[in-house]
Amino acid sequence: MPTSQPWVFVTIFAGAVSVAVAVWLYGWVHRQDAGTKKAQEVASWIREGATSYLRRLYLALTLVAVALGIIIAIVFSFDIEHLGTEAISVDPLRGGGMALAFVVGAVCSAVAGYMGMSVAVAANVRSAAAANEGINQSFRVAFYAGSVMGLAMVGLAAIGMGTVYLLTGDPEIVLGFSFGASTLALLAKAGGGIYTKTADIAADLVGKVELGIPEDDPRNPAVIADLVGDNVGDVAGMGADIFDSYVASTVAVMLLGASLFQNDAVLQAKYTVFPLVLCALGIVASLIGIRFVRVGKNGKPGQALNRGTIITCAILAVLTTAVVLLGDYKLGVLWATLAGLATGIVVGFTSDYFTSSENRPVIETARVSGSGAAINIITGFSYGLISTVPSIIGIALATLISYYLAEWSGLSGIYGVGISAVGMLSVSGMIVSSDAYGPIVDNARGIAEMAGMSQKVIDTADVLDAAGNTAKAITKGFAISAAALTVLTLFAAYAEVVGTRGVELSISLRDPMVIVGVLLGAVTPPLFSALTMLSVTDNAFKMIGEIRRQFREYPGILAGTEKPDYAACVDLAAQGALMSLVLPGFLAIFLPILVGFVLGPEALGGFLGGSIFTGIIFALLMSNAGGLWDNAKKFIESGEHGGTGSDAHKASVVGDTVGDPFKDTAGPSLNTLITVMSLVSSLFAPIIAAFHLF
Amino acid sequence: MPTSQPWVFVTIFAGAVSVAVAVWLYGWVHRQDAGTKKAQEVASWIREGATSYLRRLYLALTLVAVALGIIIAIVFSFDIEHLGTEAISVDPLRGGGMALAFVVGAVCSAVAGYMGMSVAVAANVRSAAAANEGINQSFRVAFYAGSVMGLAMVGLAAIGMGTVYLLTGDPEIVLGFSFGASTLALLAKAGGGIYTKTADIAADLVGKVELGIPEDDPRNPAVIADLVGDNVGDVAGMGADIFDSYVASTVAVMLLGASLFQNDAVLQAKYTVFPLVLCALGIVASLIGIRFVRVGKNGKPGQALNRGTIITCAILAVLTTAVVLLGDYKLGVLWATLAGLATGIVVGFTSDYFTSSENRPVIETARVSGSGAAINIITGFSYGLISTVPSIIGIALATLISYYLAEWSGLSGIYGVGISAVGMLSVSGMIVSSDAYGPIVDNARGIAEMAGMSQKVIDTADVLDAAGNTAKAITKGFAISAAALTVLTLFAAYAEVVGTRGVELSISLRDPMVIVGVLLGAVTPPLFSALTMLSVTDNAFKMIGEIRRQFREYPGILAGTEKPDYAACVDLAAQGALMSLVLPGFLAIFLPILVGFVLGPEALGGFLGGSIFTGIIFALLMSNAGGLWDNAKKFIESGEHGGTGSDAHKASVVGDTVGDPFKDTAGPSLNTLITVMSLVSSLFAPIIAAFHLF
């Protein structure tokens, strides 16, 4: 593939530039003023807590990676393509390569997450300190810290995928890399989600509800765990989640590209490599776009973030148009890229509509809260259900447009759908940067309060925080729609991989095995959500016990004369979160394999389909309803319907607490769940197909 | 079809016997002692309210039936089978016949519902009066009143389907009858669900919460609307819902039977008529089973109801075995019938497990309620999600068993799946009887309280009510699993009907149109649920305004010296409920047609599939979570975790209020929604297929 190889080098180079900029920004953030001694002390507690969690997470990851790596090395050493038809040959190089790719994928995702989280912890306190100088300086620290993760993530992904492909020339090995990244994402996202809400709920129930002390009060033993949670759940978790979709969509399209033009090696290589081209262009667009994100002395941070996103999308559109025209690509890939970008924006703004306090859903939910918590819940939940409709229509339109325009221009339709996912995700550098900004400024506010900083600092932090919440709603919509298109592509890639092994898959809804597969797949996301949410309440009860024990045994804590044992709560949350992952993680990885072996490849196709459909709907429902309840509470706190302390406010607090595990634990993990299940299926598809031919 | 015609007469005869028994029981109930003057007065208010609602409902129904009837008469007068291929011929007889069948279907369902509701209203007060004589007499009145609707329903359905088939010999015309029944069911079930919860929530919020007066206090202007609601939602609504599944599954299997053995008219007729045979046997089994439902002086009413169900199922199994062996039917139909019955029982008991206060889900939800309403909601919702898993596995197993055993015995697999649905539903006479019993005793308790009857009466009514709740959970599980198998059969019937028009439907998940169809179908049930739930809160707010107005303008009401204007609240609830149906009803009937015409028959296949998958999951989730919250509250009220008035109790009341529209409005209407959408699609399939061939 001589004509396309330069592009692989370009991708690796763009990735290296991205990582270099991330490293430079990492240093820049650390060189900023770290504030008062008290603030630094608080920050050090958060750093210790975060490190302690990461140590446990990476230990768990290592165990899982070694175990799965060995399985992969063994399984893929057999020449499964010819299982049953001729003598079985053994190729340990392929098995070893696949296992290595798997481990490298997990490590790359872990490194990006580690950089992102460690810079976030450093940036919390520095952003608070910078608030003394004004909103523009404080914003810059937080946003550039967020960019560290965004750029490290896309950079490492580009380097990793490019290198694996360069060395092996086999997209199926790159699938191993993607599976590694997704396995980490599952642990990081679901674990982080459980961690953060365990700490949040326990801290609130004992602190705010039982004792009436304010949020982020340093006397509360769970307060540090709560602040750590924002970093591990929202920063590291969301980063891993998008890393996972980013890599998975790129790999899936490479696989689909490799099945095009099977008798023209040059064209085949050209379209196999095109998703990497889009990654490279997306990195360039993000690097430029990030430069445009800045606010003046009285600027609006929310506008700055949106401006950055829109400029990045525009640059990507221009660059893609240029490359497609100059490089003589078929126009279908351009339309697909643009459809993907447009859908990302539509779904993002839909989330914004349903969760912003300027629109009917939040206003109405706040209004009815005066009649009690139950009405608040019913109303918010109903709007959450309705919010799935425009997003699903957007995803459906993107699918149809990219499919038929790609087919019309002479490519396979499903390749076009994949390109629309990659197009949407190629601007992840920018998206993750503005997403990670949110929890950083949220934490800056917490530190400012705990360290007794001035009211001006707290007010500035509040303004920055509000912008973060809007950005978060938009990026969540983005992440879910990207995951939806990604898994639809992976689904096609699965069928493609099975097809190349001689099993022509007809995943027809008129086949009872497919129906049964769909039914089983459709209940998996609800089951997964339930398990993670029950883990949150279980772990929160354990932590409540620990908080009460500390207050009881050390009365000095409540009096403010004694330092609580923050580490005990941090450890409890970390241990609980990781233990809770065993069953859901097992489900995600082994259920598809089980369905495939027992019920056959058609049923597995149905299973994936079913999990995708309900997965997307529950993810949208839970994210949007959660955001809506959160903002309805904030709307009331701004003075509407009686303000803080009124009956309406109490009702809205219940809604917000229900929404917490919805939007931060169960909802977003579903993306990763369906990606992991689709990847596992594609990876094991040849074996399952061979087993059923046998 | 000479050899099978006798069975059609047997079916009609069995239906007539069933109706005759229902009429006799109707008279028997009315001949019972109607209690004190005060009790009769209260009962007369309920009767007036119920009648006023029914008048409005039937007016609305008449309008819809006339409009749809005209459309059907016109559309089906064209010889659409040959549209586009030759000159179009016009056959007004077929169009008129179809329209007539549609109207008769709606009328039969309406008559059964009217009988059921009017006897229920009469039985409320008589059951309360009989409680003076002991639990056995009170139970008998309530159960026999419930049987009126059960027997009238299956009887009228059998007569209607048998007669239409006898006259036309064309199962597609019977489809028109089924569509009529379903249209009424949609109005009755969703409308009744909105009505009952509007009144319930409004009465509770003003009465119990604002003023602190007890439930069922005669001073509350909404109390009669609340009692009427139990009858219109739970009695008439649930009856219409099962009537709808009962007819739809039978018709779908008749259609599938007509496509078997196309070159052996005798065998073809035999299997076309077999679902009617099952209906006849089910009526016999129910008539016998009902005789076994009785309690002694100190008997347990719950056991009596379960005994009746199990005996009925056993009799049906014996009768079916005899008919299959003696009638030389293929064994596949026997296995399918048994698989259906077993699944009904499994799903019913799953619902019971998740909603009974003897098991972990309710106990755990009650336990965590001490930490507030939010934790109660998260826990109950999570268990509701988990509860979908065993039910779905049960439905999947029934599908596989009946499919492959039917195929193995030489029939089409999907015919077997249909037979399992009909087998399950053939005992509906018994199921509906014990289901309708629940709201009757619930209301008896309300009347006893309002009419100031003795504590002994209230205690007896409480015991009867508890048994009703368990029976209700089981029959809801039954209704949902029956609907699931029914719509899977209808789905196949749709493809079959399209197939006979020369379009070989491949509803493959690898086709983007199918994917888009599935995505759109999958969001329809969530959207429908949301619209009905928002209607409940909207209407409840209007009624709250009315209640407050009455208390304000007539201070004598609260003092107990003046009678509130009950009729105003009744009218408000009725009007609100029917107005709220316009949009959801429109969605249910026109969305499938729209998808079919715009995106094609494959996309419509996907749309139906998607709506079925999420429809079943949301129906199970909402019914079970709602029942669980209800019983967690009752468990706490029984003295656990601090009992009534404790913090845990307050939290559980929030959960129960959220659960009310879940389990009584949104959840159960989804059955009807997916049935109606599948029926509309099958009915219009020939036209859609012709349009796309054109």
Chosen for mutation from A510, A543, A594 (greatest number of chain B CBs closer than 10 Å) is A510
Chosen for mutation from A378, A414, A534 (greatest number of chain B CBs closer than 10 Å) is A378
Residues of A with CB below 8 A from B507's CB? 508-510
Question: Quick one: pLDDT at residue B57?
Answer: 85
User: CA-CA distance, A80 to B451, in Å (whole number)?
Assistant: 78
B523 to chain A, minimum CA–CA distance in Å?
Answer: 6
pLDDT band at residue A445 using 50, 70 and 90 as cut-offs: confident
User: CA-CA distance, A309 to A299, in Å (whole number)?
Assistant: 17
Question: Quick one: pLDDT at residue B87?
Answer: 54
Question: Quick one: pLDDT at residue B88?
Answer: 62
Distance of CA A149 to CAs A21, A290, A486, Å? 11, 13, 22
Find residue B83's DSSP bridge partners.
B86
Residue contact A541–B374, C-beta within 8 A: no
Opening angle at CA B597, ends B592 and B599, nearest 5: 85
Residue contact B522–A495, C-beta within 8 A: no
Shortest CA distance from B515: residue in chain A: A396
Distance of CA B509 to CAs A492, A508, A611, B356, Å? 9, 6, 13, 39
Residue contact B657–A374, C-beta within 8 A: yes
Question: Quick one: pLDDT at residue B78?
Answer: 75
Residue contact B512–A399, C-beta within 8 A: yes
Question: Quick one: pLDDT at residue B22?
Answer: 95
Residues of B with CB below 8 A from A414's CB? 510, 512
Question: Quick one: pLDDT at residue B1?
Answer: 42
A594 to chain B, minimum CA–CA distance in Å?
Answer: 15
**What percent of chain A is modeled with pLDDT above 90?**
37
Helices and strands: H and E segment counts in chain A: 22, 0
Residue contact A386–B512, C-beta within 8 A: no
Distance of CA B167 to CAs A385, A632, B171, B197, Å? 45, 60, 11, 42
User: CA-CA distance, A537 to A531, in Å (whole number)?
Assistant: 10
Q: Which has the higher per-residue pLDDT, A281 or B345? A: A281
Residue contact A508–B512, C-beta within 8 A: no
B395 to chain A, minimum CA–CA distance in Å?
Answer: 9
Question: Quick one: pLDDT at residue B611?
Answer: 94
Q: Which residue numbers in chain B have pLDDT < 50? A: 1-2
Give the number of C-alpha atoms closer than 13 A to the C-alpha of residue B177, restricted to the C-beta side: 30
Tell me the pTM.
Answer: 0.93
Question: Quick one: pLDDT at residue B211?
Answer: 79
Give the other-Cβ count within 10 Å of B198's Cβ: 34
- What pLDDT digit, counting tens, does each position of A398-438 carry? 999 999 999 999 888 889 999 999 998 999 999 889 888 88
Distance of CA B531 to CAs A82, A388, B397, B642, B670, Å? 54, 13, 33, 37, 12
Residues of A with CB below 8 A from B621's CB? 526
Distance of CA B34 to CAs B31, B107, B114, B124, Å? 8, 30, 20, 9
Question: Quick one: pLDDT at residue B2?
Answer: 44
Paired tokens of B16: 């007539």
A152 to chain B, minimum CA–CA distance in Å?
Answer: 34
Please name the residue that has the structure tokens 């003696």. B326
User: CA-CA distance, B208 to B220, in Å (whole number)?
Assistant: 10
Residue contact A512–B385, C-beta within 8 A: no
Residues of A with CB below 8 A from B658's CB? 374, 377-378, 381
Residues of B with CB below 8 A from A400's CB? 512-513, 516
User: CA-CA distance, B65 to B589, in Å (whole number)?
Assistant: 13
Distance of CA A167 to CAs A13, A16, A173, B409, B527, Å? 16, 17, 10, 56, 49
Contact criterion met (CB below 8 Å) for A14 and A319: no
- Minimal Cβ distance to A374: which of B492, B609, B654: B654
Shortest CA distance from A533: residue in chain B: B382
Contact criterion met (CB below 8 Å) for B49 and B446: no
Paired tokens of A48: 């210790």
pLDDT band at residue A141 using 50, 70 and 90 as cut-offs: very high
Spell out the residues 6+ positions from residue A671 whose beta carbon is closer than 8 angstroms to its own: A189, A241, A244, A245, A479, A480, A483, A615, A619
Chosen for mutation from B378, B489, B505, B607 (greatest number of chain A CBs closer than 10 Å) is B378
Which region among A166-175, A308-317, B142-151 has the lowest average model confidence (pLDDT)? Answer: A166-175
Q: What is the mean pLDDT of chain A?
A: 88
Give the other-Cβ count within 10 Å of B264's Cβ: 10
Residue contact A610–B610, C-beta within 8 A: no
User: CA-CA distance, A467 to A309, in Å (whole number)?
Assistant: 14
Closest C-alpha to A119, from A229, A251, A30: A30
Question: Quick one: pLDDT at residue A28?
Answer: 95
DSSP A132: G
Residues of A with CB below 8 A from B209's CB? 372
- Minimal Cβ distance to B413: which of A385, A512, A541: A512
- Minimal Cβ distance to A519: which of B379, B396, B527: B396
Distance of CA A563 to CAs A203, B350, B372, Å? 16, 50, 28
pLDDT band at residue A1 using 50, 70 and 90 as cut-offs: very low
Q: Which of A164-168, A467-471, B382-386, B434-438 reaches the highest mean pLDDT?
A: B382-386
pLDDT band at residue A9 using 50, 70 and 90 as cut-offs: very high
